[in-house]
Amino acid sequence: MKALSLFTGVGGIDLALESEGIDVVQMCEVDPFCVSILNKRFPNIPVHDDIRTLDGSQFKGVDIVVGGFPCFTKDAMISTENGLKKIDSLNVGERVLTHTNVYKPIKSRMVTKNKPVHEINIQGLPKIFGTEEHPFYVREKIGKVFKEPIWLPVNELKKNVHYCGIPINQLSENPYKLTEEECYILGRYLADGHTIKRYRTNENRPKDRYWGVVLSIGDAKLTDFKSKISSNYTLHKHTKSVHRAIFSSKRLVKIAEQHCGIGSGNKFISDMILSLPKPLLESFYNGYVSGDGYSDGRTMTISTVSKNLAITFSLMVAKLYEIPCSYRYVKTDDTKVIEGRIVNQKDYHRVQFVLNPKRKLGYSDGNHLWVKFRDMNFYRYETVYNIEVDDDNSYVVNGVVVHNCQPFSTAGKQKGEEDERYLWNEMCRIIRQSRPNWVIGENVKGLLQTGIETVESDLRNEGYEVRTYVLSAKDVGAYHGRERVFIIGCKKERLSTDTAIDGLHRCEVGDRVTQADERTTERSNENKCFKRCSRVRSVLPFRDYKKGWRTEPNIRRISDGSTRKLDKSRIKALGNAVVPQQILPFIRAIVAVENYDGDVSDINPLGI
């Protein structure tokens, strides 16, 4: 078997691959010190220095792509000409929405590390994580009168006194010449639809796709749906209480995927849709709430696992009705029983607004909707981002207008650096280009709270079945914790899902490593200890590896400390390194599944 190693570090994962007879054909590492270690330890393996310039298509023959990809932080969503984007993914030249309700280009990006970050709560929108001195575009309310808009640092804002500005989309454009019925269908797709992703392989046309928008319609809503739609579609029973309507339209599929997203966690409302004339946008809104909305006659409520959709739904309501929403992040149990079936659940975003309010909680001046500042609380120290925007020096984050943070601008240009850590999208690109049979991703435990949904969703969209596990270095005999998240992906067309990924689960790691899916209870009870897997420790003793690394002296309760000769480069490299024994169970299981022709449930590569 052959492997492509990304974010290689000093080669901890590669040592484990080598021990199982897997050939690493290429490494990728940017840190000069780590590259020097790799050149000495693996002299015959080429090392590329920048993942952003690595062409994955030249590695189409590899069996495994493996990488300890960088960490995520809390992501601020910025309104751009192409919809909401994470602030750390923006590039100079991209156009962002400003307080004047026009799009202006980004002049520069700034990154400042280890800044005190605060949790900022504003009515109707997800929490914003930013610095306390960042200026917001606000109006002060005195009695019933709103003063003129000004810029104020967030630490000077007062609850029920200052109102933050949400820009109201002023455009009325229809570039695709959509009809009201098509807008309704697209809204319904946003709520509970998906597109057909199968290809015509059985017709000897493997590059030709079936084009279809599929909507799931409950029995209780079927009559209303039929009354709204005159277009041609097919309808069939899917489950006991759900029908599926299929619209065979290449045009609708392309618009839906581009402007509404793919997968419930990635759904959003694009700027193209928000810029539609109000009658068409209202048809889109009606389609969406018919599938995902609940109204008691007074209040409309929607729920979504997509933060992006929660924000853009509030922007749609602002344009249509010029009233604010309320917002709440809801934590759920891991599973739920529906019609006798146990289904998995995710935490979700709940957005509500009053349909005909007697007393408006916000104020609209036609260009902006002004909503209440709630409060601000210290969160933690973290890397923060800022951008400088041409002319207006402002942009929109999580739906509200903020200013360039001037104290950061000069320092950012002089001292800030592009943060190399946020590069999962590059690893995903290489996976897409090389199409390996297996993917192994590795990260720190914090990924479970800050980015695991993105990683899993991206892999599934690329055609991989995914399982996520957590394993501590203690579980393989080390004297330190170093808990790591391992994301294992298997290409669906390579092996059947049941055979490959569930075979991996049964034959080795599933019974011995705590699955991340089982660990979501930690979010609601942070004091619970993680399950330990002593059986792994007994099978993979720390000295089992041929060069057996030791981390502490034999005398218990006495630490080596670190020699003064151990410079920062070595400390950083060792801190980021993966203990080879941690990833070894997954590699051994993959090799066993690949090499076995019978029932994978019989596989027992470690002899347990």
Q: pLDDT, tens digit, for every residue of 493-506?
A: 665 444 444 544 44
CA atoms 558, 564, 568, 569: torsion sign: negative
CB atoms within 10 A of CB 495: 18
Residue with tokens 């070595």: 570
Domains, the chain: 1-21+32-43+57-69+423-452+572-607 (no CATH), 72-168+367-403 (2.170.16.10), 180-364 (3.10.28.10)
Q: Please report the pLDDT score of residue 114 as a whole number.
A: 64
pTM of the entire predicted model: 0.57
Angle between the N-to-C axes of helices 424-434 and 452-461, in degrees from 0 to 180, rounded to the nearest 10: 20
Beta strands 2-6 and 23-28: pairing type? parallel
pLDDT value, residue 283: 97
Three-state SS for 62-130 is CCEEEECCCCCCCCCEEEECCEEEEHHHCCCCCEEECCCCCEEEEEEEEEEEEEEEEEEEECCCCCEEE
CA dist., res. 595 & res. 598, Å (int): 10
What's the pLDDT score for residue 211? 93
- Cα 306–chain centre separation: 9
**Would you state the pLDDT for residue 224?**
93
pLDDT (0 to 100) of residue 435 = 92
Structure tokens at 230: 């005159």
- Cβ atoms within 10 Å of 597's Cβ, excluding its own: 5
* CB distance 42 to 9 below 8 Å: no
Give DSSP secondary structure letters for 440-488: EEEEETTHHHHTHHHHHHHHHHTTEEEEEEEE-GGGGT-SS---EEEEE
pLDDT at 339: 65
Tally Cβ neighbours within 10 Å of residue 104. 18
Residues of the chain with pLDDT under 50: 71-74, 406-422, 496-501, 503-566, 568, 600-601, 603-608
